[in-house]
Chain A
């Protein structure tokens, strides 16, 4: 492959005490593609995202964005970098002291210096993008259902039209119908913006809806990677066990 990947983990190792949660992880995603990382709990999915976001620092290896290493950036370099990145957190992570529109416009108001009136207009546009009633703009996060909070979180992630989007367990804790709606919204937004997307999930339906490609993480390494369509046909024993949900196989019981 001659094309420079949008984002690449190269030999990334992250330890907690004696345990290597990421053990020389090699993974990359091409510009404009949507990669979904699947894997059991405690296999390092969250850590993979957190190292790329600079919320955790790996002990070894490089993480490259457009071919340039982003491990160990200074705070101000990192702040600049974040203007190209949008993140949807697992619990939406909305600021509960701010109204929904102020949440969505947080970056515009606090980092980009956009005037309040314009920021509000852009927040309301983003609300419409995620099919939320503009009337919720002045409500607070605690007044919204879990699914609505996820939508608001998605609106906050896409409002500044980022190049790269991260989705941390986007459907966890949602009922199947709401989850399907969120999946559909995510893939729609990613396509609309032409962004590169990296998601982590253990929800296979979600993985196949939002991913072009799927990679399976186990023991801090990628044990399988392929097109989303191949997830259910591959004979990789790890993937087979995960997809079929069998307790016996190469993946030992999670503690």
Chain B
């Protein structure tokens, strides 16, 4: 039986299996890299499709506002409570506004906005482009003298890179407001002093570094959606697989690049 033989071969030669999966991983990195380069080139050179770009600004940016805002307000509120009670163990309750502001702008604002986008946008992009692949719409586009990289991939990458920093700015504001709400309503902080402490403490780099992270995450989210959708194969099941891969790989790459960027920023300052 073929399956039995295959299993035996793997058992006999684990090194071969290891080599095969290593090669597959290298091939994957290579093809994502080539795809990213082609997509970036398409996004940055004419012809542009302003209608498509506008549509993606709306889909990726505007329509993500509610979900990003809700995530931010609850996270800010919970963070404030946690830091207040935790800080209380060594009489550090009073620095809670500063720590909330720092945590939100540098880390939680960009990462949580990006994760929500990975779920919302990366999946939608992969499903849409995957379905277009499955129904030959991408082939049809090429035969109509239109480059799918310029028409489909470029606008999505551009929208991801430009919209996620904006969403993150909103998330930062709402997240800090969530902390402020809990602090003033539940923990009896003075509303004015809370805001004064936050503003006096924050440096512009705290916010800017978060926004730079967000631009990178936005690229990742759009890229993973486009890549997995564009390379979907095998009908409806393939589209489902592409969607899953887009979300999972976006999330992992967001966390990994978050750590790398944070390390880089720490060394820089």
Contacts and interface: CB of A to CB of B under 8 A. Distances in A.
Interface of A: 50, 53-55, 75, 78-80, 82-83, 85-87, 89-91, 93-97, 106-107, 110-112, 156
B136 A85 contact: no
A95 B49 CA distance: 16
B17 interface: no
Interface string B23-60: 00000000000000000000000010100000000000
Interface residues of B, number: 17
Contacts of A91: 135-136
B139 A107 contact: no
B256 interface: no
Nearest to A76: B147
A83 to B, nearest CB: 5
Nearest to A84: B145
B230 interface: no
B7 interface: no
Contacts of A83: 145
Interface in B131-149: 132, 135-137, 139-147
Interface of B: 47, 49, 128, 132, 135-137, 139-147, 151
A78 B49 CA distance: 20
Contacts of A55: 139, 142
Those 5 A-B pairs whose CB atoms lie nearest each other, nearest first: A111-B145, A93-B140, A93-B136, A107-B144, A82-B145
Given A54-B142, A110-B151, A112-B145, 18 more contacts: A79-B146, A80-B145, A87-B143, A89-B139, A89-B140, A91-B135, A93-B135, A93-B136, A93-B137, A93-B140, A95-B137, A106-B146, A107-B146, A110-B144, A110-B146, A111-B144, A111-B145, A111-B146
- Looking at B49, B139, B145, the one whose CB has the most chain A CB atoms below 10 A away is B145
Contacts of B143: 53, 82, 85-87
Contacts of A80: 145
A96 B140 CA distance: 12
Nearest to B146: A110
B136 A89 contact: yes
A197 to B, nearest CB: 15
Contacts of B139: 50, 53, 55, 89, 93
21 contacts: A53-B142, A53-B143, A75-B147, A78-B142, A79-B145, A79-B147, A82-B142, A82-B143, A87-B140, A87-B143, A89-B136, A89-B140, A90-B136, A91-B136, A93-B137, A95-B140, A106-B146, A107-B145, A111-B144, A111-B146, A112-B145
